[in-house]
Structure 1
Amino acid sequence: MRKSEINRRTTETAIQLELNLDGTGESSISTGCGFLDHMLTLFARHGCFDLNVKCTGDTYVDDHHTVEDMGICLGTAFSQALGEMRGINRYGDIILPMDEALILCAADLSGRSFLSYEFQIPSEKVGTFDTELTEEFFLAFTRKANITLHVRQLSGNNSHHIIEAAFKAFARVLAQAVKINEDFKDTIPSTKGVLI
């Protein structure tokens, strides 16, 4: 089983995270940020990843440190769970609708960190969540997971739907990319022979 555990403590957050890439979408999420909890719960469900998260952070300041550090920890967990990435599909892509929102997302588990993020989120907040933190989460994840990620809003005017569709698309793209390809299960999908 491709699993990992992360324990990360700073002066701003303390995070315990368990990830199983070959799960069933079960999750237990507590970050102190309700909207982020919702996004991570649907991320686990749509990716069929088992994800347990316990985070305490300085949310009395704002949600920035919690959101960014969750991206750091989840990206690190993915990298560790994948190991040398033998037999994976490596690539994933989707165009995902959610009501009026339409999201394009594509990933390459390349060993190279790059984020292309193109969004026009109409409101500054969804509830108490600062919508600009969505980019911070994806940036932190891609840096620590060492993946190339393109995520783009094609349409939409409801901030909640746009961000939710982005997390669903992200989960489904990762699920495609980490899936074991039975035709190549003993090889690393790169002419270099490594993906790190």
Structure 2
Amino acid sequence: MPDPRRARLSPAERRAQLVATGVNFLADHSLDELTMDVLAQRAGVSRPLLFHYFDTRQGMHLAVVTMARDSLLVASEPRPELAPHERIRDTLLRITEFVQQHPRTFHSLVRGIASGDPAVRRVVDESRDLNADRLLEAFTELGRPDTPALRVALRAWVSFTEETLISLVIDRDVAPETVVRYLEASLDGAIAATDALAL
């Protein structure tokens, strides 16, 4: 007999519930393991219903990755009331704590989709661009000119940070405060290096 609580959900609420179930799956599994059958079983719905909401497995993956990415972006939203250096440190600490609390989800976002659908990869790349833009705003506030060299350094440093978080937080369980100090030092080095590039 159908669950009456599920019947009361609007289509938008039902879809959001299904996507959230997929994001929760990433806590213990890779994105590649998330099939329509697995999600249907986890959500307690029929497989045809999933195809109604997502059309394809790729569409379902795209929705799940988008929600996971947005959760990370919300958790690391810079606090505009803080001074630039303090804002960067605060943001790094919250990102590190997010990774500590959701290691498999972060790992799936950064590495699990590397060979996946181009649309899914684009969702993750968009988050990297946004994080680089957030840093750019802080450094221009500090008086750094907005140059191509600065943008290259910040975008590259965002990717460096992802690998650092996997290696230090997920693989080695290094304390967040220690990771943040390391990331701050590496960011200072990346910014200083832009002086050697006439762009």
TM norm structure 1: 0.32
Structure with larger RCO (C-alpha < 8 A, sep 6+) = 1
* More strand as a share of residues: 1
Task: Output the TM-score relative to the length of structure 2.
Answer: 0.31
Q: More helix by proportion, 1 or 2? A: 2
